[in-house]
């Protein structure tokens, strides 16, 4: 069935039908209102973008569009991004590809060898993210008036070509042509059946009522959403920095296998050793428990924290990425946001950021001891905080830190505990404690929303794996 075309002539016929049967000023005003509603709906129908399928025959305009993009100032100094877009567009237009693999792009665009493994090398995913961002920048500036637009939807590397329509031009053409066409059309007799003349005004009135009700409830929902956002949490400015629509936020739970490996071998492992352990199947094969490299373990406490973070109103599901510590790469933490769960003994990526913190974790698995060093204690603070266990309670410590990522264009949140109870206490306080929210908000009000901070927490529990029965902030540091 072919879609109806809303032309100025059809529009005038409908309007003349209304005015021909109106007998009072009130009906004429009602007709004008209905005309406004119809014009709004018709404009919506006509301005809908048409998608050019990759399965259709490619046109010269599509090739010219790609050439114009890669020649623009946004791509001129990025040969890899230009090659990426050109190669993917050619495969989509000429070869009619509906799927382009990460492996294929790695070989043909980034000149990787046949042994290229996308799980180990995420260069294609990283450049795809940059390419989408660069295309968005191009269409916000130089390409604002392009009729054909190129998009690469998330989850695929196949470009989509969209033909855009300008609703303002359509509205202007209708307005310019109405007086002449309507005047000539008015002289023709109305040959439409009687039922059309009777029911069309009522149909238009119903359409207007539905349209108005939709606008009303949409406004109510927008107001409700705004009020909900304002009352979500005092930490709303912090969460909106961590969860942003322009980048992924990597949530990295602690690696229980890494903890066991260190305990069984009675020594700590650096981040470099950890990565080498997984990258080479034959390396460190003599280590006790070396088979752990083939498995991924985390704790139920970490999974509970991840679940709580996912339920935050500020979380963006499309950019919330949960990834095992062994699957993270430096590029993920270089320009992405991240949340690291656990101290350096369970999450080796803490090494990148933890070395710069005032509250520094020390782990001696050969002595079965760990503690936190306060590098610059102030009055009333201790220089060392070490867990204490009695026959009734277990006292432990944790750190909540908010720092910049490696490229200093994003943020990393660290929830570090001397044990599972400490990490859980840090998460519970951050998500549920008004005391912590007030302290962080005070720091953000004083230094700005992007302030870096460290909070040292003392928690009491029944044992090292239980939820804290009580916890408090014992020290804090804020940095501009």
Rounded average pLDDT over 101-126: 88
**Against a cut of 0.85, is the pTM above it?**
no
| Dist CA 114 CA 111 (whole Å) | 9
- pLDDT tens-place string over residues 108-118: 999 988 888 88
Crossing angle (nearest 10°) for helices 167-185 and 25-47: 140
| Residue 369 tokens, joined | 């001891």
Numbers of helices and strands, H then E, in the chain: 16, 14
Sheet of 359-364: strands edge to edge?
A: 359-364, 369-374, 384-385
What is the percent of the chain with per-residue pLDDT over 70, rounded to a whole number?
Answer: 71
pLDDT for res 252: 95
Which residue bears the tokens 């990759």?
A: 54
Answer whether residue 397 shows pLDDT above 90. Answer: yes
Q: What is the pLDDT of residue 212?
A: 67
Where are the strands (E) in 323-376, listed by range?
337-341, 359-364, 369-374
Domain boundaries, the chain: 8-48+167-228, 50-163, 236-479
Query: Are 332 and 250 within 8 A, CB to CB?
Result: yes
Most confident of 46-55, 111-120, 316-325: 316-325
Tens digit of pLDDT for each residue in 168-205?
444 444 444 444 444 444 444 445 555 555 566 666 77
């Amino acid at each position: 069935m072919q879609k109806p075309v809303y032309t100025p002539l059809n529009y005038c016929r409908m309007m003349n039908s209304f005015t021909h049967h109106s007998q009072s000023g009130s009906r004429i005003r009602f007709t004008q209102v209905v005309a406004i509603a119809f014009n709004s709906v018709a404009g919506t129908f006509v301005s809908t973008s048409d998608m050019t399928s990759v399965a259709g025959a490619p046109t010269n305009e599509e090739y010219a569009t790609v050439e114009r993009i890669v020649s623009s100032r946004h791509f001129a100094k990025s040969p890899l991004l230009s090659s990426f877009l050109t190669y993917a567009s050619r495969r989509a237009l000429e070869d009619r590809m509906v799927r382009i693999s990460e492996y294929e792009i790695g070989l043909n665009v980034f000149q990787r060898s046949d042994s290229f493994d996308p799980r180990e090398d995420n260069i294609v995913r990283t450049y795809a993210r940059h390419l989408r961002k660069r295309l968005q920048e191009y269409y916000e500036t130089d390409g604002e008036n392009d009729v054909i637009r190129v998009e690469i939807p998330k989850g695929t590397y196949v470009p989509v070509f969209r033909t855009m329509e300008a609703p303002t031009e359509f509205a202007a053409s209708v307005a310019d042509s109405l007086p002449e066409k309507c005047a000539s059309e008015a002289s023709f007799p109305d040959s439409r059946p009687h039922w059309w003349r009777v029911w069309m005004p009522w149909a238009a009135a119903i359409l207007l009522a539905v349209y108005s009700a939709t606008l009303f409830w949409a406004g109510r929902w927008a107001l409700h959403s705004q009020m909900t956002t304002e009352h979500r949490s005092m930490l709303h400015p912090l969460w909106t920095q961590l969860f942003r629509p322009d980048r992924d936020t990597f949530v990295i739970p602690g690696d229980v296998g890494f903890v066991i490996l260190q305990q069984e071998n009675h020594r700590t492992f650096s981040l470099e050793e950890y990565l080498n352990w997984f990258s080479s199947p034959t390396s460190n094969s003599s280590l006790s428990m070396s088979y752990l490299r083939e498995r991924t373990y985390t704790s139920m406490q970490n999974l509970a924290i991840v679940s709580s973070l996912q339920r935050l109103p500020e979380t963006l599901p499309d950019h919330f990425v949960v990834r095992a510590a062994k699957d993270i790469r430096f590029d993920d933490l270089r320009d992405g946001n991240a949340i690291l769960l656990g101290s350096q003994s369970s999450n080796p990526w803490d090494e990148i950021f933890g070395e710069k913190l005032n509250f520094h974790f020390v782990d001696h698995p050969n002595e079965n001891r760990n503690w936190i060093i306060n590098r610059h204690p102030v009055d009333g603070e201790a220089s060392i905080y070490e867990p204490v266990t009695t026959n009734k309670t277990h006292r432990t410590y944790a750190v909540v830190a908010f720092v910049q990522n490696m490229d200093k264009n994003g943020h990393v949140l660290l929830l570090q505990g001397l044990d599972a109870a400490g990490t859980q206490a840090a998460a519970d306080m951050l998500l549920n404690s008004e005391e912590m929210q007030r302290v962080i908000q005070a720091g953000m009000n004083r230094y700005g929303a992007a302030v870096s901070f460290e909070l040292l927490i003392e928690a009491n529990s029944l044992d090292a794996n239980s939820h804290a029965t009580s916890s408090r902030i014992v020290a804090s540091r804020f940095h501009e």
